[in-house]
Amino acid sequence: MSARKDVLKQQDIIGSLQPAIHVPQNWNYEVEPDLYKAYMHPPHDVGGQFDVPVRYEEKEEEQWELDTYVTCEVLGWRGLWNSEERRRRADNDLGYTLYLGIPYYGRWILAAARMLVDKGHISLVELIEKIAEVKARHGKK
Amino acid sequence: MARSRSPKNPQRPAGKARFKVGDRVRVKDLPNLFYSRTQMYVRGVVGTIAACTYQDVIPEDEAFNRDGQLEQYYIVRFRQKDLWPEYPFDNDTVQTESPERWLEPA
């Protein structure tokens, strides 16, 4: 469990992740059509958009990434989901902040967990308690 | 395209292909709702059918684990200059894949 000061530090970080579009927004009652179209745009389609320069990093897959890949494939082989649900739609459904904020295979494993909960194979309580148990075992916050 | 998929329903083939190699087509700008695989950078742009590839599941169906109905897919070739006005070279092209429903005659 996190100490209260850690929770408050988290609140500051979460606040800093507000979408960096420079118009005020807070559950707008009126949304202009162009803005609506922008909101509806799926996060995975980034071609042609302006972006800040990013560092190109070439590295080998880490073990957790390979494990994630295999886990997701096996879930596919067992018929729990198909490739379009997995790699495309479920990744998009994580939303912009997560889609862009975490590693490629981070999206996959979160999408897999979400699918298993959505389709009733595991309960969210079960999953949260397991994560807490494993974190405690490894002495992580 | 190799895919790990086990269809729940018998597959229903699409009708006769609407376009043939060399046809000019424009990519539609259909509304985005929950999911789309059609890139914004080609929408509204005219290109040429480079190949009439195969029939496969409708992306918007597959994304929500529906299957059964197939549609025709094409490789569409665009001039880079048509996609990016400031692009410097006339002869360069880019190809992308599109299902028939997202294309209209141009």
Find residue B48's DSSP bridge partners: B24, B77
The C-alpha atoms of residue A93 and residue A45 are separated, in whole angstroms, by: 13
A57-71, A86-100, B32-46: range with lowest mean pLDDT: A86-100
Residue A77 has pLDDT above 70, yes or no: yes
When CB atoms are compared, the residue of B5, B33, B67 closest to A40 is B33
- Decide if A34 is inside a domain: no
- For chain A, give the percent of residues with pLDDT over 70: 94
Quick check: is A104 catalytic? yes
Indicate the pTM of the whole model: 0.82
The C-alpha atoms of residue A13 and residue B43 are separated, in whole angstroms, by: 37
Q: Can you give the CATH number for the domain in which A73 is found? A: 1.10.472.20
- Decide if A11 is inside a domain: no
The C-alpha atoms of residue B71 and residue B13 are separated, in whole angstroms, by: 7
B3 has a chain A CB within 8 A of its CB? yes
The C-alpha atoms of residue A108 and residue A114 are separated, in whole angstroms, by: 10
Q: Is the ipTM of this complex over 0.95?
A: no
The mean pLDDT value of chain B amounts to: 90
- 8 A C-beta contact, residue B27 and residue B102: yes
> Which tens digit of pLDDT belongs to each residue from B6-56?
556 778 999 999 999 999 999 999 999 999 999 999 999 999 999 999 999
Q: Mutate which of A69, A82, A87 to test chain B, going by most B C-beta atoms within 10 A?
A: A82
- Please count the structural domains in chain A: 1
Find residue B93's DSSP bridge partners: B79
- Decide if A19 is inside a domain: no
- Decide if A6 is inside a domain: no
- 8 A C-beta contact, residue B50 and residue B23: no
- Decide if A30 is inside a domain: no
Burial zone of B97 (CB within 10 Å; 0-12 exposed, 13-18 middle, 19+ buried): middle
- Decide if A28 is inside a domain: no
DSSP assignment of chain B equals -------SSPPBPP-S-S--TT-EEEE--PPPBSB--S-GGGTT-EEEEEEEEEEEE-HHHHTTT--SBEEEEEEEEEEHHHH-TT---TT-EEEEEEEGGGEEE-
- Decide if A32 is inside a domain: no
Cβ within 8 Å, pair B83-A40:
no
Cβ within 8 Å, pair A47-B4:
no
- Decide if A12 is inside a domain: no
- 8 A C-beta contact, residue B76 and residue B98: yes
A108 has a chain B CB within 8 A of its CB? no
Full domain range(s) for residue A67: 62-141
